């Protein structure tokens, strides 16, 4: 049997070539069956119902002998396995308790979908298989594990839901790169997640009438591509980000705490700019609403504290004149006596319980509040009209920031539709909550401060990337001193924290500054923070190009953990933890970030650095290394750029406002590389073939004219124009 499908690129409208899938099925019997698609085989057994997978003839996912599917804790039994086609099966299941369900199975070369359907909602459903290790993912939940470690082996949670401790952005996707598979059960309500070398379980505690379970197979590019398609088909948006938030930002809450007003905001930003900080966006998260308990929230929508912001139009206009995008904080909570609450209550636009709007309490706001019910289209439309009141002041976007909802068991996707519609409107969005969606320009980890274990930040950020949220914004450099959660007395330890934190943040897709460097007497703090901000700004076009690639194919290009980039390299594993502190990641095809960070930031001055297979060049010195290799005790002063160049050796950088391509010759005798970055209509193509003496000219193939090039910092460098193609030969 031959199946043919033509796929369409959602991002650019480009049609792919037809995909031919050869599929067949073996002879069926009532007790067992096999499905085949490409190199993927699924073995089914009837009693109890069990399944396993092999990929290219090798075991990938093994069965559990006491049943692969539990319904209310009882193993399901298939009535028969005779109703199976080569890549599809329809089964009738029953348990010893009499619960009945139907199971539909579809197989493609890199993806198995198991969809359980039943008529009795509320049942506990669990899909089970033999275990595997190491496993990676789980987003915010990963750092809630027993130790600071990106490897979630041993993770067990029968109440997996956003709001547990500090979890906000949620994905229960787990990838096992050594074994070439990943798992995901799609459900925004309370889930059951176990991942160990003994057993893998994904389930739901109170199932709807349909429960979809997915297994993905192949190399990481194939797995993340299938994962992307499932996210989108399940209603989780993956949207194209905009470039400004991939630069260096400024956050009022980090810089000023609660003391923000039009004067202090402009003074702080102007001082940062006078010191040379290259800012591209500003976030005013709080303090712009009128004083008083009835308006102490971002949902004051157009009602402004005129004592602190006497002319909000003028303030945003001044920030725009400085080249900054302006974002306000925004939540979905409405104060119980707030200015728009009566309207929401009248029209039943808030989350209700037993027929009445439910009252919520949290750490902020201090007053009781109601929550917008985003499952109601009318509530969403009403909320969007209120947002227009902020847009009318010139506000460009929003930092979505609802929190403190742990006790209430709210759905993981409680704000997804709002973020999606804001992005589609053209707003700039910093995403903080959500389920499976990448529907913000950037994705911020939970607040990360001086008084916390500093291994949390790297583990949290890398877990985001593993989980399909690689547009990582690692919170404000230095955190939020203004909240007074810790002593702000300046000490040498705090100074080292500021410097190390800035260098670590600079190598993420987005970064921002807050606590002013001029508040520290040690001049090295300011110089290091400026060095870090300029480094990030220089890499901004490269980060953004990788973000566009992610939005098109789902692979975590902007921040690729090494086990994903090099799944067959043994040295890539076992390093992202509080013992080794080998927090490294690949950026695009050609850079590896190697910052010194973790809870030893105060005393550590050197690190062991792992370089994967292939040639590598130290970004600063030009020294060459051949991987795989573990470099021991590498000195890491704060003046060092923690980057190595490898892969295809082609990097985009912004210098004096001009985007440059930098081509490194990784092999001293011969180096050939090609890079194509597309932005849905304006591709940039660079083809390089270097041999003999280093070339000093390049050709713009679009205009057929030479482009002057120079050898600067160990690479051939020349300016480029978006939409053009270039050749260096």
> Quick one: pLDDT band at residue 4, thresholds 50, 70, 90?
very low
Give the pLDDT band (50/70/90) at residue 108: very high
**The pLDDT value given to residue 49:** 97
Strand order in the sheet with 624-635: 560-561, 585-587, 591-593, 643-645, 606-618, 624-635
Q: Are 325 and 393 in contact (CB under 8 A)?
A: no
Q: Does residue 15 surpass a pLDDT of 50?
A: no
The pTM for the full model equals: 0.94
In terms of residues, how long is the chain? 729
CATH of 570-644, one of 2.60.120.260, 2.60.40.680, 1.10.3720.10, 2.60.40.1180: 2.60.40.1180
Q: Pull the structure tokens for residue 107.
A: 């197989």
Average the pLDDT over 648-663 and give the result.
93
Flag the least confident range among 442-451, 494-503, 675-684.
675-684
Task: Please choose, from the candidates 376, 366, 437, the residue with its C-alpha nearest in 3D space to the C-alpha of residue 404.
Answer: 366
Query: 34-43, 116-125, 659-668 — which one is most confidently predicted on average?
Result: 34-43
Name the average pLDDT for the chain. Answer: 92
CB 365 within 8 A of CB 335: yes
Contact 445, 457 (CB under 8 A): yes
Tens of pLDDT, residues 218-247: 999 999 999 999 999 999 999 999 999 999
Question: Cα-flanking dihedrals φ and ψ of residue 442, to 5°?
Answer: -140, 165
DSSP string, 56-118: TTEEEEPPPTT-SEEETTEE-EES-S-SB-SSEEEEEEE-TT--EEEEEEEEETTEEEEEEE-
- pLDDT at position 342: 97
pLDDT at 8 over 70: no
Q: Are strands 356-357 and 369-371 parallel, antiparallel or unpaired?
A: unpaired
Q: Is residue 669 over pLDDT 70?
A: no
Tokens of 664: 């490194």
Q: What pLDDT, on a 0 to 100 scale, did the predictor assign at position 728?
A: 87
- Tokens standing for residue 5: 């499908």
Provide the pLDDT for residue 691. 65
- Using only the alpha carbons of the chain, give its radius of gyration: 26
pLDDT for 166: 78
Measured in degrees and rounded to the nearest 5, phi and psi for residue 609 equal -120, 130
The residue-averaged pLDDT of 710-723 equals 91
524 or 142, which is more confident? 524
Question: 351 exposed, middle or buried (CB, 10 Å; 0-12, 13-18, 19+)?
Answer: buried
Q: Which of 202, 213, 201 is nearest to 114 (CA)?
A: 213
Instruction: State mean pLDDT over 140-152.
Output: 86
pLDDT score at 242? 96
Beta bridge partners of 654: 659
CA distances from 650 to 530, 674, 689, 720 (A): 25, 8, 12, 13
- Mean pLDDT along residues 446-457: 94
Give me the residue label for tokens 């990448």. Answer: 438
Are 583 and 609 in contact by the 8 Å Cβ rule? The answer is no
With tokens 């607040």, the residue in question is 447
The phi and psi torsions of 86 (rounded to 5 degrees) equal: -55, -40
Rounded average pLDDT over 679-690: 73
For the chain, first and last CA: distance in Å?
47
pLDDT digits (tens, 9 = 90+) for 389-442: 999 999 999 999 998 888 899 999 999 999 999 999 999 999 999 999 999 999
Q: Hey, which residues does 182 pair with through a beta bridge?
A: 175, 216
Q: In angstroms, rounded to a whole number, what is the distance separating the alpha carbons of residues 181 and 56?
A: 13
d(CA 729, CA 674): 12
pLDDT at 688: 82
State CA 79 to chain mean position distance: 42
- 99-103 long-range CB contacts below 8 Å, 24 or more apart? 99/71, 99/72, 99/74, 99/123, 101/71, 101/76, 103/49, 103/69, 103/76, 103/78
324, 400, 336: which is closest to 370 by C-alpha? 336
The alpha carbon dihedral of 337, 340, 341, 345 has a sign of: positive
d(CA 314, CA 320): 10
pLDDT in tens, 300-341: 999 999 999 999 999 999 999 999 999 999 999 999 999 999
Break the chain into its structural domains and give their ranges: 2-130+181-217, 260-332+377-546, 570-644, 650-728
Query: Cα(446)–Cα(463) distance, rounded to whole angstroms?
Result: 12
- pLDDT value at 5 more than 70: no
pLDDT bracket for residue 23 (50, 70, 90): very low
CA distances from 486 to 250, 452, 478 (A): 21, 10, 12
Same fold: 260-332+377-546 with 570-644? no
Tokens of 239: 């949207």
Query: Taking the CB of residue 381, how many other CB atoms lie within 10 A of it?
Result: 11
pLDDT greater than 80 at residue 365: yes
Share of the chain above pLDDT 70, in %: 94
Nearest to 654 by CA among 543, 541, 503: 541
- And the tokens for 611? 């370089």
Provide the 10 A C-beta neighbour count for residue 439. 25
Is residue 14's pLDDT more than 80? no
- Percent of the chain at pLDDT exceeding 90: 83
| Fold entry, domain 260-332+377-546 | TIM Barrel (3.20.20)
- For residue 202, give both structure tokens: 């994904």
Give the pairing type, strands 670-677 and 684-691: antiparallel
Q: Give the distance, in angstroms, between the CA of residue 687 and the centroid of all CA atoms in the same chain.
A: 30
- 573-584 confidence digits (pLDDT tens): 999 999 999 999
Kindly state the tokens that stand for 698: 């390049």
DSSP 578: T
For residue range 517-557, list pLDDT tens digits in order.
999 999 999 999 999 999 999 999 999 999 999 999 999 99
Tell me which H or E stretch contains 613.
strand 606-618
The arithmetic mean of pLDDT across residues 111-119, rounded, is 95
Distance, CA of 470 to CA of 555 (rounded, Å): 9
pLDDT above 60 for 3: no
**In contact, 33 and 84? CB cutoff 8 Å:** yes
HEC sequence for 273-308: HHCCCCEEEEEECCCCCCCCCCCCCHHHCCCCCCCC
Mean pLDDT on 263-289: 97
When pLDDT is cut at 50, 70 and 90, the band that residue 489 belongs to is very high
Q: What is the mean pLDDT of residues 278-284?
A: 98
Cα 686 to the center of its chain, rounded Å: 28
């Amino acid at each position: 049997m031959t199946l043919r499908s033509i796929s369409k690129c959602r991002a650019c409208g480009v049609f792919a070539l037809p995909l031919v899938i050869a599929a067949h099925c073996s002879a069926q019997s009532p007790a067992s069956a096999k499905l085949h698609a490409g190199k993927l085989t699924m073995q089914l057994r009837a009693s109890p119902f069990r399944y396993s997978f092999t990929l290219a003839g090798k075991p990938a996912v093994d069965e559990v002998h006491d049943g692969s599917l539990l319904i209310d804790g009882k193993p399901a039994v298939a009535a028969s396995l005779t109703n199976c086609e080569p890549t599809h099966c329809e089964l009738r299941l029953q348990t010893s308790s009499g619960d009945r369900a139907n199971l539909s199975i579809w197989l493609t070369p890199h993806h198995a979908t198991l969809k359980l359907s039943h008529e009795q909602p509320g049942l506990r459903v669990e899909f089970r298989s033999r275990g595997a290790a190491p496993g990676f993912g789980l987003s915010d939940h990963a750092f809630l594990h027993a130790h600071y470690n990106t490897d979630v082996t041993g993770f067990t949670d029968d109440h997996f839901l956003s709001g547990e401790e500090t979890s906000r952005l949620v994905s229960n996707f787990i990838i096992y790169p050594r074994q070439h598979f990943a798992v995901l059960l799609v459900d925004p309500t309370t889930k059951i997640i176990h991942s160990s070398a003994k057993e893998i379980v994904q389930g739901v505690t109170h199932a709807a009438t349909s429960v979809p379970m997915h297994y993905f197979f192949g190399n990481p590019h194939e797995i993340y591509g299938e994962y992307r398609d499932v996210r989108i088909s399940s209603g989780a948006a993956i949207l194209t980000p905009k470039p400004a938030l991939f630069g260096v930002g400024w956050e009022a809450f980090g810089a000023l705490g609660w003391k923000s007003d039009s004067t202090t905001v402009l003074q702080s930003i102007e001082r940062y700019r006078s010191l040379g900080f290259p800012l591209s966006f500003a976030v005013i998260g709080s303090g712009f609403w009128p004083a008083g308990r009835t308006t102490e929230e971002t949902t004051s929508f157009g009602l402004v504290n005129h004592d602190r912001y006497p002319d909000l139009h003028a303030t945003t206009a001044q920030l725009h004149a400085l080249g900054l995008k302006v974002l306000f904080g925004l939540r979905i909570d409405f104060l119980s006596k707030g200015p728009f609450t009566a309207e929401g209550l009248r029209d039943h636009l808030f989350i209700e319980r037993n027929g009445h709007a439910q009252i919520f309490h949290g750490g902020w706001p201090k007053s009781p509040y109601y929550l917008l019910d985003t499952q109601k289209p009318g509530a969403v439309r009403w909320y969007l009209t209120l947002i227009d009141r902020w847009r009318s002041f010139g506000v460009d976007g929003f930092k979505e920031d609802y929190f403190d909802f742990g006790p209430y068991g709210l759905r993981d996707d409680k704000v997804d539709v709002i973020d999606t519609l804001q992005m589609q409107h053209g707003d700039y969005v910093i995403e903080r909550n959500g389920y499976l969606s990448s529907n913000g320009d950037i994705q911020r980890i939970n607040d990360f401060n001086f008084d916390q274990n500093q291994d949390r930040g790297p583990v949290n950020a890398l877990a985001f990337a593993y989980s399909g949220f690689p547009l990582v914004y690692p919170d404000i450099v230095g955190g939020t001193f203004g909240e007074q959660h810790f002593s702000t007395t300046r000490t040498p330890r705090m100074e080292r924290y500021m410097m190390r934190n800035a260098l670590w943040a600079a190598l993420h897709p987005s970064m921002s500054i807050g606590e002013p460097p001029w508040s520290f007497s040690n001049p090295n703090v300011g110089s290091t923070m400026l060095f870090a901000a300029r480094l990030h700004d220089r890499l901004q076009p490269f980060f953004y190009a990788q973000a566009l690639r992610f939005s098109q194919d789902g692979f975590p290009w902007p921040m690729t953990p090494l086990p994903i980039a090099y799944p067959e390299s043994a040295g890539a594993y076992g390093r992202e933890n509080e013992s080794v502190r080998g927090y490294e990641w690949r950026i695009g095809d050609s850079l590896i970030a190697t910052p010194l960070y973790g809870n030893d930031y105060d005393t550590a001055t050197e690190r062991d650095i792992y370089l994967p297979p292939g040639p590598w060049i130290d970004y600063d010195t030009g020294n060459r290394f051949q991987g795989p290799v573990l470099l021991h005790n590498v000195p890491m002063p704060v003046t060092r750029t923690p980057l190595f160049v490898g892969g295809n050796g082609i990097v985009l950088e912004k210098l004096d406002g001009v985007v440059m391509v930098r081509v490194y010759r990784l092999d001293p005798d011969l180096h050939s590389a090609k890079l194509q970055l597309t932005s849905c209509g304006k591709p940039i193509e660079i083809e390089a073939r270097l041999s003999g003496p280093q070339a000093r000219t390049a050709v713009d193939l679009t205009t057929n004219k030479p482009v002057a090039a120079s050898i600067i910092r160990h690479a051939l460098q020349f300016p480029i124009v978006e939409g053009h193609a270039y050749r260096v030969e």
